[in-house]
Structure 1
């Protein structure tokens, strides 16, 4: 059997997902291909999704801006994707299309790999910057992991409130402005930047000032192009521990591949290889 997999989103022409999943296929001893299926905003999303679904795909990933838009075109969502309200992985099972979300699990796995000590203190204070599809997955997984204080800073309050509502009774969340987040930054032990601010080509942009950040904080950015964003660069200069976005990319892909093939492949040195590619080495 040769697997037919792919990625939908926009823009995605320079995505590294094909490289990652080809590595997974090789490691698993499976035949297959992983293609880019870019859907531009002026394309008919419905028509393109129906084309993909009728093209013998075994599954596909979904990235911005379609993680919520894909939902009406699926037959079922697993519990986590339903709670999050966003899908990044679609699996064809018995002629049905099932939506999953591996973003949060991928983020948690990468964070735990580098900073396991933070998981011993579930009462630490976490700040989530942004309220998009990735933020939804990360928030849900952090809450499920038992963290009790996760605040959200976002330009649009309603989007953040919608995410906060999925946290459950044990998770306390305040919705704050980006200005307030910057002013009170010293309060937070873990700061997670989930927007696309700082992504190439706008590499000098940062979402908030880190002037008031504690040097003992862990600062994380899910942007991975460039691998060291200006946000992380400034955090490192102030003495904070930094967590790079390419780890989430790799681990969420590992979970997606397992959903498609029932095989969890070892990463071995893929993280270093991916870092080398991102840094142009």
Structure 2
């Protein structure tokens, strides 16, 4: 019997996950199929009940359901519970277990770029939304000792810092201020949507210092190189776009469903093809 997997969201037609996962199922000769399910917020609980009733083997969760779904699952792993969001669900013999592979996927991608042990790195996160929270808590869970946040206001940054269950040292800086020194960080991460298509000339913060050896990362992948990354590269940084996070979160989800950790390079080729190669 063919196993059924999928992704739920609203909207969902833009999702590249079906392309990525169906290619993997075919490549690994697995009798399975991955579908995109358009689920509106008011129908989420009914959808989850339906998935459980028909024995859906697993599914991904995207905007706007990552938080609301927590209370509808039978179990949520520790890091996902601390983040307060789930993006991957596994059906374990009728029990729906929630995970967050976004943060860990980001870290797995990041480790292909950094030159030193992750635990030894000093990290600056730009933004304090849901993506920032997931990355912050995942980095803290991985043992990173210094994670600072720069944001327009302190409220959301303070909430992330205060709610983290893992030991780390953090400071908040106002995005318009000049108290933070970019050169002291090993990793700088933009988690905001500033610079995303069509506003491709915008940057979250100016980069004018020499950042030789620093990894500067942007979770945006449309465009593949934001103005923020271009500025960083001109100043000597090693740059990393958002494709890696998307690919590795998908790879970790695929592994949880099948026991196979897939080829990330193959997955990236699928994504780049879908994006048109140069988007």
- The question of a shared fold, defined as TM-score above 0.5 by the shorter chain, is answered with yes
Query: CA distance change for structure 1 residues 126 and 8 in 2, over 3 Å: closer, same or farther?
Result: same
Name the structure 1 match of 2:104.
105
Structure 1 position 91, deviation (Å): 1.4
Separation (CA, whole Å) in 2 of partners of 1:181 and 1:144: 29
Structure 1 position 167, deviation (Å): 5.2
The question of 1:9 aligning with 2:19 is answered no
**Secondary structure in structure 1 of the residue aligned to 2:116:** helix
Query: CA distance change for structure 1 residues 168 and 97 in 2, over 3 Å: closer, same or farther?
Result: same
**Secondary structure in structure 1 of the residue aligned to 2:197:** coil
**Secondary structure in structure 2 of the residue aligned to 1:164:** helix
Structure 2 gap segments, 5+ residues each: none
Alpha carbons 1:227, 1:275 under 8 Å: kept: no
Q: Does 23-32 or 182-191 show the bigger shift?
A: 182-191
Separation (CA, whole Å) in 1 of partners of 2:53 and 2:173: 44
Number of residue pairs matched?
A: 277
Name the structure 2 match of 1:74.
73
Output aligned runs, 1:1-281, within 5 Å: 1-40=1-40, 43-115=42-114, 117-119=115-117, 122-165=119-162, 166=164, 168-169=166-167, 171-180=168-177, 184-212=181-209, 214-280=211-277
**Secondary structure in structure 2 of the residue aligned to 1:8:** strand
CA RMSD after TM alignment: 2.5
Structure 1 position 221, deviation (Å): 0.8
Q: How big is each residue's C-alpha offset from its partner over 1:185-225, in whole Å with a ceiling of 9 and x where there is no partner?
A: 33322111112232233333322222346344211011112
Query: CA distance change for structure 1 residues 76 and 156 in 2, over 3 Å: closer, same or farther?
Result: farther
TM-score by length of 2: 0.87
Separation (CA, whole Å) in 1 of partners of 2:44 and 2:178: 36
Alpha carbons 2:195, 2:228 under 8 Å: kept: yes
Structure 1 position 153, deviation (Å): 2.0
**Secondary structure in structure 2 of the residue aligned to 1:21:** helix
TM-score by length of 1: 0.87
Alpha carbons 1:63, 1:88 under 8 Å: kept: yes
Separation (CA, whole Å) in 1 of partners of 2:136 and 2:181: 20
Q: Does 103-112 or 270-279 show the bigger shift?
A: 270-279
Structure 1 gap segments, 5+ residues each: none
Alpha carbons 1:216, 1:240 under 8 Å: kept: yes
